[in-house]
Amino acid sequence: MPPTRSSVVYRPFLGWAGRTNRARPQELPLSRIITTALPAHGHVSPLLAISADLAARGHEVVFLGGSRFAEAAGRAGVRFAALPAGADWDDRDLDASFPGRAELPPGPERIAFDVKHVFLDPVPHQYRALLGLLAEFPADAVVADAFVQGALPLALARPRAERPALLGVGITPAMLPSADTAPFGLALPPLPGEEGRIRNRSLQEEMDRRGEPLQRYAEKAFAEAGVRLPQGPRGLAQVTVPDVYLQLTVPGFEYPRSDAPASYRLIGALPGNVGEEQPLPEWWAEVSGERPVVVVTQGTLANDDLGELVAPTVRALAERDVLVVAATARPDGPQVLAELLGGRLPGNVRAAGYVPFDRLLPHTDVLVSNGGYGGVQTALRYGVPLVVAGASEDKPEVAARVQWAGVGLDLRTGRPAPEAVGRAVEQVLAEGRFRERARALGAEFAEYRPFDTIAELVGSL
């Protein structure tokens, strides 16, 4: 039986930076909350984790998402509502979901296609779905994946007193434009001083000029939702329109912005899938041995071709005195990897479809990754330095932040040569500065309590 609306829960107050302040408890009324995410695993996972935590605190939560995630919502303990067909697609095969995409080569053309059809075309459908859900479930707050841009019209169409609070959640590196950073997508680290500001301004002007057709397309999508998109570069509205924007990281892993709005807050990274029941492989005892452990993964999305990063890493380290764990994140991964390597794995390599990362990372000396935002930050929470090689989605930006933060090396490609991987892993293992900096960043992550911060904001807004 759901709690009554007059019930209260007691939680420690969280300062706006996200750190715990146990000086005084707060009485927080239980709320009705809608959470929503794009129908993609990497977007749904963090929003369902937030949903589960809010539900465990006694809030009534409805998750609005892709139809294939209905069971996942049930396991999270929340009610599920399906996005309409115009906003639902299958991230496991984007080319099938969006005809014409497969004909475009990776690069600017495909990025423009995705911005139009994956992110903008669904805006009016997402907005109407939210309005329909609010009509029968009058929520106090909407907590939205920042890429669900159909949530923005909730705040653009009505004054605050006439709508639920809107919280945006940044699950990729911050796209917020700033005088202190190069435009998102160029994977350029900050350049200090006036020289950097001049560079950034020039690059932003060029990006705005080239992005004019996409800006007009975005304005049309929001007009179809009955609202006007605020002026400014892409990435600005998703931060400035919500009542608060919660970036899932810490200052040590995000570029500083002296001109960030007050609504923009870094609240730490969500915990990994701690406690997931996954059987341990028979070779598990080896990860506690004397050899350094190097883990390589292409994550759960961009792992169709294990020849991009997993196979080159295995080739690079096959003759070295390390234990290589290839976490393929696909049930046929070990077999596919063996076939790529001529039929068998090298003697120092252990391959698995799925491994419990919360148990593997404490034994890991280096993680070789293609740059998934959540996976990289999970490694850093355990103080593990990285070698990153990513070329798709937001991965070049993640890789650039790894090198900027001093926690690893960016190979600046999505398909590195084995020799490049080998040299990078050897350098990270040999130079203690990477491990030292990763551990320091792990300590910084430990200072934050993102679930508590979100719960505090839901209750106070």
Reported as a single tens digit per residue, the pLDDT across 207-266 is 999 989 999 999 999 999 999 999 887 778 999 999 999 999 999 999 999 999 999 999
Question: Is it true that 8-266+448-460 and 284-430 share their CATH fold?
Answer: yes
Q: What is the pLDDT of residues 394-419, one digit of tens each?
A: 899 999 999 999 999 999 999 999 99
Confidence of residue 70 (pLDDT cuts 50, 70, 90): very high
For domain 8-266+448-460, the CATH architecture is 3-Layer(aba) Sandwich (3.40)
DSSP code string of 29-69 = E--EEEEE--SSHHHHHHHHHHHHHHHHTT-EEEEEE-GGG
Look over the chain and give the mean of its residue pLDDT values, rounded to a whole number.
90
How far, CA to CA in Å, does 16 sit from each of 10, 147, 166, 448? 18, 23, 16, 11
Domain boundaries, the chain: 8-266+448-460, 284-430
Query: What pLDDT shows up at residue 272?
Result: 66
Query: What pLDDT shows up at residue 4?
Result: 34
Confidence of residue 28 (pLDDT cuts 50, 70, 90): low
Query: What pLDDT shows up at residue 449?
Result: 96
User: Looking at domain 284-430, does it have CATH number 3.40.50.2000?
Assistant: yes
Q: What is the pLDDT of residues 267-314, one digit of tens each?
A: 999 986 544 567 789 899 999 888 999 999 998 777 778 989 999 999
* Length of the chain measured in residues: 461
Specify the higher pLDDT residue, 359 or 144: 144
Entry pTM: 0.88
Query: What pLDDT shows up at residue 18?
Result: 45
Q: What is the pLDDT of residues 2-20, one digit of tens each?
A: 333 333 332 332 333 344 4
Task: Decide: 307 and 414 in contact? Cβ < 8 Å.
Answer: no
